[in-house]
Structures are given as structure tokens and as C-alpha cells.
Structure 1
Amino acid sequence: MFIEIGAFEAKAKLSHLLQQVKHGQCYTITVRGQAIANLIPTETSMHANIVKAVERMRSMPKIKGINHETVTSWISEGRR
């Protein structure tokens, strides 16, 4: 999700914005309300965030007693 920020404010808070971008936040920089540029993480930063997210998901406890057929039936029920 992009947060809009004016160019003057972005200039004043650039160090803070860069720290936020490092952690995955995205900004749209505007001039007089018109979008001019996007401030987004580099591919390397995004990859690091994805790796961390996958590691956290893998560390979550696994649900026992659920098999492929059960999940398939839940999906089918949701499509009715």
C-alpha cells in the first residue's frame, strides 16, 4: 500500500522515509496533489522481506488431522 506524501515533507523527512522503505513501506511523492514518483524498496530488500515472511510462516505450528481431501471440500463449500 502506498502512502501519499508531499515533496516538501518528503525532503524534510527523507532519512525517516528511507528507514520505512527499508522495512517494506511504499510512498507516492506528490507535487500539488499530483503523483510524481514512487519511493519503493529495491528488489534486494523485497527479497529479504519475503525470506523473513516465509521463515515466520514455517515456524508456525502445523495443524494436525487435516488432509488434502478436507481442504478440497472446504474450498468446494466456499464456492457454492
Structure 2
Amino acid sequence: MRTIGAFEAKTHLSEILERAAQGEETLVTRRGIPIAKIIPFNKSQNLTKENTILRLKNLRKNLQLRNFSWKELRDQGRR
């Protein structure tokens, strides 16, 4: 992954976008601190899917369900 300062990124944005279109990632820093990552669009969609799956798995692990009957759920919904 290529690292570039914010000022240089502003100056060379079209080049960075072209590299992203070719699959390259670029980390943008300000005073050496990462502030943004420019990644190819297709990869961002995959990251979103992966993130969603991980969040759902974590949610499932953390849920503490007790046994409900359908009648009890129905009755609660009617209140």
C-alpha cells in the first residue's frame, strides 16, 4: 500500500484515483497520522459485506435469548 501526505494527495488526486481504478490502495496521512484510505470501489463493497457478516456473527454471539412461545410473542406484540 502506498502512503502519501494530504497535501500531496490533493495535488495528485487524479493519479491516485487512476491507481485505485487499477487496484492499488493509498493511505493518506496528515503529519504522519493516517486520516484516510483510498481503495478500489469493488474492494470497498467486499469490505462492507465482510464487515456486515462479522457484525451479525458478533450480534448472534451476544444475544441471550430465552425460550419464547409463539403465543407469548404474539401477546406481547398486541400490547
Could you tell me the TM-score, scaled by structure 1's length?
0.52
In structure 1, stretches of 5+ residues that fail to align are 48-80
Quote the residue 1:22 is aligned against: 21
Paired AA for residue 35 in structure 1:
P
SS at match of 2:27: strand
After the TM superposition, which residues 52-63 of structure 1 pair with which residues of structure 2 at under 5 Å, given as runs?
Answer: none
What is the Cα deviation at residue 45 of structure 1?
8.9
State the distance in 2 between where 1:19 and 1:36 align: 20
Contact 1:24 1:46 (8 Å CA) reproduced: no
Quote the residue 2:49 is aligned against: none
Q: Kindly, what percent of the aligned residue pairs are identical?
A: 41
Is the aligned partner of 1:12 residue 2:11? yes
Contact 1:4 1:29 (8 Å CA) reproduced: yes
Runs of 4+ in structure 1 deviating by more than 4 angstroms, as ranges, are 44-47
Measured on the aligned residues, the alpha-carbon RMSD in Å equals: 2.2
Quote the residue 1:52 is aligned against: none
In structure 2, stretches of 5+ residues that fail to align are 47-79
Q: How many residues align?
A: 46
The structure with the greater share of residues assigned to helix is 2
Q: 1:44 to 1:25 in 2, by over 3 A?
A: closer
